[in-house]
Amino acid sequence: MIQSMTGYYKTDVEINDKSCNMEIRSVNHRYLEVKLRIPKQFRSLEDKLTAIVKKLLTRGKVDISINLEKSSIPLEKMELNLPLWEKINDIIQILDKDYQKKVNINLSDLMNAKDLLTYQQTDTDSEIFEQLFRKTIKTGIKGLIEMRKTEGKLLLIEIEQHLEKMKELIDQVPKFRQEILTIYQNKLKKNLKQLSLDYQENDPRILQEIGIFMDRIDISEELERFNTHLIHFKELLDSPDPVGRKLDFLLQEFNREANTLCSKANHTNIAKIGVELKSEIEKVREQIQNIE
């Protein structure tokens, strides 16, 4: 069953006395792009948590936000990075000496100095928080996938309607074959008559010319390939695996066959069918841009 790349899910998760809430949303994207926001004290876990997402999803731009409940936020204490402060102090003294002018440092300057002030977590239950975030990610992704499946069902209904229309259009083409041949035969006769040439309708040269023309306008291979692509497309829609890219490739093949069909047939009605076919192909393309 196909999945949409669009979805949204919100959940609350608790382990022991620790709890957090999570929001996850995704939109269509050529590849998988994950943006994860977690409390700053646990940024060291970002890579591990992102890896979980990448195991469960294959495509889409995924935005995840995890926030701890106020009662679960671990206590922190601010510490001064003494080695860094000593280096800064040495620089200040050099400036004082070289410029013969006192350098004034205020609190905002210290706050802006990278890594000068560090935050140390006082809560020792780091493993519990990691378990909490892992469970939250897995729960959120599971909920998101269900939402994406629901959206995928709606996409499937619309895509199947367009495929059925494409099948109806392509099935109309064969009935114009004899008409194309008759038009060419009449045109050939008219040209020969205008040249005042004597000929027999079963003249080998005339039959050879007609045979060459029939071979040039033969569209049986295009029709066969188009129908084969339709069957393959429907099979992919029933696949449990992500198929968005494969479907996009097949649509390129559909479009190629439709163009060849119009150019080879050189017939007004078939040209109209070709235009309608390409319109339906484009509608399907718009839908599959959102399929994982």
Q: Are 123 and 74 in contact (CB under 8 A)?
A: yes
Per-residue model confidence (pLDDT) at position 51: 95
**4-8, 149-153, 200-204, range with the lowest pLDDT:** 200-204
Which regions of the chain does DSSP assign to beta strands (E)? 7-15, 18-27, 32-37, 60-68, 76-80, 117-121
Average pLDDT of the residues in 192-215: 60
Tens digits of residue pLDDT in 51-105: 999 999 999 999 999 998 876 666 566 677 777 777 777 777 777 776 666 767 7
Predicted confidence (pLDDT) at residue 148 exceeds the cutoff of 80: yes
Distance CA 4, CA 150 (A): 8
Predicted confidence (pLDDT) at residue 253 exceeds the cutoff of 80: yes
Predicted confidence (pLDDT) at residue 107 exceeds the cutoff of 60: yes
Per-residue model confidence (pLDDT) at position 229: 93
pLDDT cut 70: percent of the chain above it: 76
**130-134, 269-273, 282-286, range with the lowest pLDDT:** 269-273
Say if residue 41 is exposed, middle or buried (CB neighbours under 10 Å; 0-12, 13-18, 19+): middle
Q: Are 111 and 71 in contact (CB under 8 A)?
A: no
Q: Are 15 and 168 in contact (CB under 8 A)?
A: no
- If you write DSSP's letter for every residue of 38-85 in order, what string do you get? --GGGGGGHHHHHHHHHHH--SEEEEEEEEE-GGGPPPEEEEE-HHHH
pLDDT cut 90: percent of the chain above it: 43
Per-residue model confidence (pLDDT) at position 113: 72
**89-103, 131-145, 192-206, 215-229, range with the lowest pLDDT:** 192-206
Per-residue model confidence (pLDDT) at position 198: 60
Q: Are 11 and 133 in contact (CB under 8 A)?
A: no
Predicted confidence (pLDDT) at residue 122 exceeds the cutoff of 60: no
Per-residue model confidence (pLDDT) at position 110: 67
Predicted confidence (pLDDT) at residue 132 exceeds the cutoff of 60: yes
Per-residue model confidence (pLDDT) at position 12: 93
Per-residue model confidence (pLDDT) at position 199: 56
Tens digits of residue pLDDT in 17-60: 889 999 999 999 989 999 999 988 888 899 999 999 999 999 99
Strand partners, 118: 79
**87-96, 102-111, 131-140 — which one is most confidently predicted on average?**
131-140
Tens digits of residue pLDDT in 169-187: 999 888 877 676 666 666 6
**201-210, 258-267, 279-288 — which one is most confidently predicted on average?**
279-288
Per-residue model confidence (pLDDT) at position 129: 87
- Which tops the pLDDT comparison, 132 or 111? 132
3-state helix, strand, coil in the chain (%, to 5): 65, 15, 20
- Tell me the domains of the chain and their CATH numbers: 7-72+125-147 (3.30.230.70), 76-121 (no CATH), 152-288 (no CATH)
